[in-house]
Amino acid sequence: AQTVTQSQPEMSVQEAETVTLSCTYDTSENNYYLFWYKQPPSRQMILVIRQEAYKQQNATENRFSVNFQKAAKSFSLKISDSQLGDTAMYFCAFAGAGSYQLTFGKGTKLSVIP
């Protein structure tokens, strides 16, 4: 069974600064997908970014980028130029290539301070 670990329950960052959220995972699979989801106070789960394990290039979406280290089984999220609207819970999630199930970490609560 896969496990996903987010070791930072809470973090804070000053507006306009950069913050990195950590995620590690454990799997015996070689092909899989990794995701970061954002959950603002509205409760809606919003996909931030995805990474396919077979791609060596790190995914980027505007101010959001990942550092994917397959050998180390690490998948961190970097948020640049933090904005007040980035305040939310962030969940790291894993899906095996042949699996329908998303396995989530316990989340990191990020607060952006004005």
Partner 1 sequence: NAGVTQTPKFQVLKTGQSMTLQCAQDMNHEYMSWYRQDPGMGLRLIHYSVGAGITDQGEVPNGYNVSRSTTEDFPLRLLSAAPSQTSVYFCATKIGTGAGEQYFGPGTRLTVT
Give the residues lining the site for partner 1 (CB under 8 A).
4, 32-33, 35, 42-45, 47, 50, 91, 93, 95-107
Identity of the residue, 14 or 40, whose beta carbon is nearer to partner 1 in the bound complex: 40
Q: How far is the CB of 7 from partner 1 (least distance, A)?
A: 14
Identity of the residue, 14 or 30, whose beta carbon is nearer to partner 1 in the bound complex: 30
Q: How far is the CB of 65 from partner 1 (least distance, A)?
A: 17
Closest of 87, 85, 91, 96 to residue 108, by C-alpha: 91
CA dihedral 83, 16, 88, 7 (to 10 degrees): 160
Q: How far is the CB of 15 from partner 1 (least distance, A)?
A: 27
CA distance 83 to 15: 6
Identity of the residue, 1 or 114, whose beta carbon is nearer to partner 1 in the bound complex: 1
CA distance 61 to 69: 18
CA distance 97 to 85: 32
Q: How far is the CB of 22 from partner 1 (least distance, A)?
A: 15
